[in-house]
Amino acid sequence: MYFFRKKDPTRPTSFNLKVMHTINAIAIIMFLLGIIWTLIKIFILKK
């Protein structure tokens, strides 16, 4: 149940944690874009 818990309002928010989550999200998006681009090159462009 770790992912489905409510945020604790008494817990302090850390700038480092926000930056880590932002960089993590950017990395995941770029990874997915790379996979999509590779699939487009393989199946549509066929080069």
| pTM of the entire predicted model | 0.67
Q: String of b and e for 18-36 (b: at least 16 CB within 10 Å)?
A: eeeeeeeeeeeeeeeeeee
Residues with Cβ within 8 Å of 47's Cβ and at least 6 positions away in sequence, in order, are: 41
Q: What is the pLDDT of residue 47?
A: 57
pLDDT band at 46 (very low <50, low <70, confident <90, very high): confident
Structure tokens at 46: 């066929």
| 36-42 mean pLDDT | 94
Residue with tokens 């770029």: 30
Encode pLDDT of 5-31 as tens digits. 777 778 777 899 889 999 999 999 999
